[in-house]
Structure 1
Amino acid sequence: MDIQFQMSTDEQVINPVCDFTYSWCLNCGLSEKEATKFTIAVSELISDIILFAYPNRSIGFFDLTFRQTLSDIELIASEVGEPFDPDKHKYNAQEAIQNGNFEGAGLRIIRRFTDDFLFINRGKEGKEFRLQKTIDIHDIDELLELSRATKPKEPEDNASKVSYHIKQITPGDAEDIAKLIYRTYEYSYSKEELYFPKKIEQTFTGKEKLGVITRSDDGEALGYFAILKKSDSNIAEVGEAVVSPSYRRQGIMSGMMENLIKVGRDHHFEALFGKAVTNHPVSQRVNHKFGFISTGLMLLDTKNVVFKGFDEEYPQPVSVVIDVLPLQTTTSKKIYLPKKYRDILIQTYNLLDIPITPRQPEHYKMADKSDAELEINYADSTALIIVKKYGPDFRSVLREMLHSLTKQEAPNAIYLDLPLENSATPAQLSQLKDLGFIYCGLAPYFHNESDYLRLQKICIPFDFDLIDVHSEFGQQIKSFITDEYSQHS
């Protein structure tokens, strides 16, 4: 959940912001010591903004976003003050001792008291500072060690058939969902909040997700499947699918998927999409059984997830196939297709049965300045850049964002979404030739019910042969990406 404030450059805001930051850190799970460190870092940052960002104005404004997941917290500060280059303000200990020159000391403190500090020059959009801190979840670590020491005997796969029923999730199902996650993944599942019944209960109470649960006739929880509503578009992601190992291969997963598709139609979503892992093709097969179409392949998208009953050795981050199921009939829309990817995009649209009118504009309009949103997934070491508007500064803004992301510890992959309903996209794509992006796929309805071309930049070595893609068209996408990656590397 995000908490957002717009602050004035009045020194009187520093203490209230610090008080809020400290309390927020404690509520998010940081220790008092780590909460104090993070608060000091925030204090240094906003003090610098207040003192130096607007030297020729009596008053200015900046935005603060406090962002929390179960595994980390992040503060994002945005301002449109004077240009600034942190590399030109290095702290020099000798200068501080001999001449009392403490320039750069604030930035040094920020870096020391956070786990990740990112500065992004957004050109005409101003500047962005991101402070991140990882939350140590000792209880899960201790339980993990305990589970390894007292690991029960694996259930037999040939368990007898059981009579079951599928119903919609209620907040009262939260504890059983947490137990199902553990029975299926132990403590390897990337969404750590699913080990906390109270956290699960809150998501269903707040209508952040919809789901179904399978129970035997005597009430035992056998499976769970959810769809997560996307925050910026009327689509939902099919995810968090589990079936207790004792009851696999009894049609439970298929039954839950059928129910979820009905839930999606009842809520009038434009489409459902899934991100099916490629280390085991089971989820891909289920998706395609119900008419999902593979539209992309995201390389190195997530950390390895260990499934009980499967080979646990997988030597690289897991890639995922984007599978999409349109739920509504749409009228034809104008799509501006880059020549380089025209054929594979048209083929994808045809398989999805989404009518389009392809265009190749001779002229296009651009905004006064670029608008691009950055989402960082610290847990999986990936980042997504969503382009909303192109301006004359697009290439320089994008280069600066990439430089900021790869300056310290490079992420596994950086994804880039370009709007296909924007007439400037074909020309702007040609500006990215030397930035290392390759094809990822089509992301229909992904932002504001609009279609996007997703590209990807891979930052670490990996092995294509370990990526298992099930569908025929998915294999075609993989081959297309493999060829382009070979040309770039």
Structure 2
Amino acid sequence: MRRPPLVSMRLHGAGHHGRIVAATVEAAAADLGLTTPQAAQLATAAGAVARAVHLRGFADPADAALHVTVGRHGHRVVVHVDDTGLPFDWRDAEDLDGAVLQRAVTDGWVDEIHHRWRGRDGNRTVLARHLDPGRDLRLDPPATTSEPPEPADQPSIADLDDVADTRLATPDDADGICRLTWRTYEATYQHDEYYQPDRLAAMLADGTQVSFVTPTTDGEIIGHSAILVTEPDAVVVEAGRAMVDPRYRGHHLMSRPSELRKTWFAEHGILALAGAAVTAHTRSQRDAPVCSVLLGFLPPIEFAGIDGTASTVREAVVGGFIPMAPIPPQEVVLPERDAEVVRGIYADVHLDRTERPPADPASGTLSQLDVSVRADLGHAVVTAHAIGVDLPDELARRVDAIRAADIAVTYLDLPMDDPAVSWAADRAAEAGWIFAGVLPLEHHGVDVVRYQHLGDLAVDPDAIHLRADQARALLAYVLAQRGATP
């Protein structure tokens, strides 16, 4: 159950909005658990957003209207700044306080920044700072566990009489999940909360993460998978964070939560499961077709007990889409340059899609772009809500700013209900973007085609291990474009 915000305030007209917002956020963030320096840093970033909105979002600052909330979501303090002004780009070096917010990302003042244009509802800028994580297993590793059982001649979970039924996790399971993470990855897993029991427990308590755990009869957690719920009314949820205790690999533990997940999906109106599987090994990859290959998506990681997974380059992942209920038909516009591979993905996933003809954007139309930055994972996503003739320039500005903030990879999502999607894909390719894949239903129930901008990022094809021929064919298509990228 998500908590209501601690602070909700509205500001109208001319005034020192930045100063008021900064002071309020600093006090609220400290009350919600940030240290004094952390609260001050988050407040500085929030004040910069408020000043940019006040002076850049409205033709007359006297018309400015902001709604600011400060609350705790999971183990994060989150600030929402909503306004009904004109879209603005806080990353623009020429825009007011752009340098402040860029420093907020680079120096770790905030862990996440998301800027979203919501049409008639205006802009929403979200700033998130993680609370003190408490105990960290990377600094205090758990004790060595017992010896593994003998491998089964014909691996089956039925061969293990010490494994209990898979169940939904509770906050009390956070410590056991973190211990499992250590046994699986040692100190190399990319999601910090999986070493920090207090932080993970908060996520389980407020519903931002739903976990399925397989314990032994003694209560030790040996298998885990999770669902990440970003929006309360989402019809597609992210699945992942799958791990199995190295002592129990080869016994099909990952198949155990499937029926429990199906029940949860039906109860919550979920249409499909989306997720990303690592490519350092194939054990977490499914037999189902993949829809995308995202190069450099994660920092380098290593898996304990799996030879050959150590790498110095960023980790590629493959994205999948698994329907859990009938998926409604949809009309889509395909990017002509990648139309055949997109059709192949739709056929592999068995989605009913009718093609519409493409068109160039109308003269004078402007793009509407969101930016979401995951500083902890080192990547950003730019989402196009509307494609205008200014898209090439707008994309270039954002990529320059993202790279200046030491973010390694940027992804671009183009909605496939926009007739200009093919024109946009061509313009993106001219600027060095390459194909990544299709994300069904990703944009408010509309499919998106994703492209990726890697810059000079090193990619090691030999470090990418895929389970299925279909996935290998998609990787080959992506790498061929990478080789042709200027």
Smaller-chain TM-score bracket? 0.7 to 0.9
Q: Provide the rounded CA distance (Å) in 2 between the counterparts of 1:270 and 1:127.
A: 28
CA contact (8 A) 1:236 1:269 kept: yes
Match of 1:227, SS state, is strand
Match of 1:465, SS state, is helix
Q: 1:295 to 1:14 in 2, by over 3 A?
A: closer
Asked if residue 396 in structure 1 is aligned to residue 397 in structure 2, the reply is: no
Q: Provide the rounded CA distance (Å) in 2 between the counterparts of 1:438 and 1:70.
A: 35
Asked if residue 417 in structure 1 is aligned to residue 409 in structure 2, the reply is: no
1:156 to 136, 148, 156: 148
Asked if residue 263 in structure 1 is aligned to residue 255 in structure 2, the reply is: no
Q: Provide the rounded CA distance (Å) in 1 between the counterparts of 2:328 and 2:45.
A: 51
CA contact (8 A) 2:225 2:241 kept: yes
Structure 1 equivalent of residue 155 of structure 2: none
Structure 1 equivalent of residue 181 of structure 2: 181
Q: Structure 1 residues 12-21 or 458-467, which shifts more?
A: 12-21
Q: Which amino acid aligns with 2:144?
A: P
Q: Provide the rounded CA distance (Å) in 1 between the counterparts of 2:89 and 2:206.
A: 41
User: Shift of the alpha carbon at 1:475?
Assistant: 0.2
Asked if residue 248 in structure 1 is aligned to residue 249 in structure 2, the reply is: yes
- If the length of structure 1 is used for normalisation, what is the TM-score? 0.79
Query: CA offsets, 1:164-197, max 9 Å, x none?
Result: 3222334443343333333323343322233444
Asked if residue 318 in structure 1 is aligned to residue 318 in structure 2, the reply is: no
Match of 1:379, SS state, is coil
Q: 1:389 to 1:29 in 2, by over 3 A?
A: same
Query: CA offsets, 1:256-280, max 9 Å, x none?
Result: 2453245334544221122000011
How many residues matched? 463
Identity of aligned residues (%): 20
CA contact (8 A) 1:73 1:135 kept: no
Structure 1 equivalent of residue 422 of structure 2: 426
Q: Provide the rounded CA distance (Å) in 2 between the counterparts of 1:119 and 1:354.
A: 30
Q: Provide the rounded CA distance (Å) in 2 between the counterparts of 1:380 and 1:139.
A: 21
Q: Provide the rounded CA distance (Å) in 1 between the counterparts of 2:370 and 2:321.
A: 23
Structure 2 unmatched runs, 5+: 152-158
Structure 2 equivalent of residue 200 of structure 1: 200
Q: Which amino acid aligns with 1:353?
A: H
Structure 1 equivalent of residue 138 of structure 2: 144
Q: Which amino acid aligns with 1:443?
A: L
User: Shift of the alpha carbon at 1:33?
Assistant: 3.2
CA contact (8 A) 2:292 2:436 kept: yes
User: Shift of the alpha carbon at 1:369?
Assistant: 3.4
Which structure has the bigger radius of gyration? Answer: 1
Query: CA offsets, 1:268-315, max 9 Å, x none?
Result: 42211220000111101xx21xxx221110001012333221246211
2:65 to 61, 65, 84: 61
Structure 2 equivalent of residue 303 of structure 1: 299
1:22 to 22, 26, 48: 26
Structure 1 equivalent of residue 459 of structure 2: 462
Q: CA RMSD in A?
A: 4.1
Structure 2 equivalent of residue 353 of structure 1: 350
Q: Provide the rounded CA distance (Å) in 2 between the counterparts of 1:86 and 1:216.
A: 53
CA contact (8 A) 1:70 1:192 kept: no
Asked if residue 32 in structure 1 is aligned to residue 47 in structure 2, the reply is: no
Query: CA offsets, 1:18-71, max 9 Å, x none?
Result: 333213443566432343355356546645765787685434235657697858
CA contact (8 A) 1:213 1:225 kept: yes
Query: Would you tell me which structure has more helix in proportion to its own residues?
Result: 1
Q: 1:54 to 1:228 in 2, by over 3 A?
A: closer
Q: Provide the rounded CA distance (Å) in 2 between the counterparts of 1:108 and 1:371.
A: 22
Query: CA offsets, 1:72-104, max 9 Å, x none?
Result: 978878764999997569xxxxxxxxxxxxxx9
Asked if residue 342 in structure 1 is aligned to residue 334 in structure 2, the reply is: no
CA contact (8 A) 2:415 2:448 kept: yes
Q: Provide the rounded CA distance (Å) in 1 between the counterparts of 2:270 and 2:42.
A: 40
CA contact (8 A) 2:237 2:274 kept: yes
Q: Provide the rounded CA distance (Å) in 1 between the counterparts of 2:177 and 2:89.
A: 49
Q: Provide the rounded CA distance (Å) in 2 between the counterparts of 1:185 and 1:28.
A: 31
Q: Which amino acid aligns with 2:270?
A: F
User: Shift of the alpha carbon at 1:339?
Assistant: 1.6
Match of 1:282, SS state, is coil
Q: 1:236 to 1:468 in 2, by over 3 A?
A: same
- If the length of structure 2 is used for normalisation, what is the TM-score? 0.80
Match of 2:377, SS state, is coil
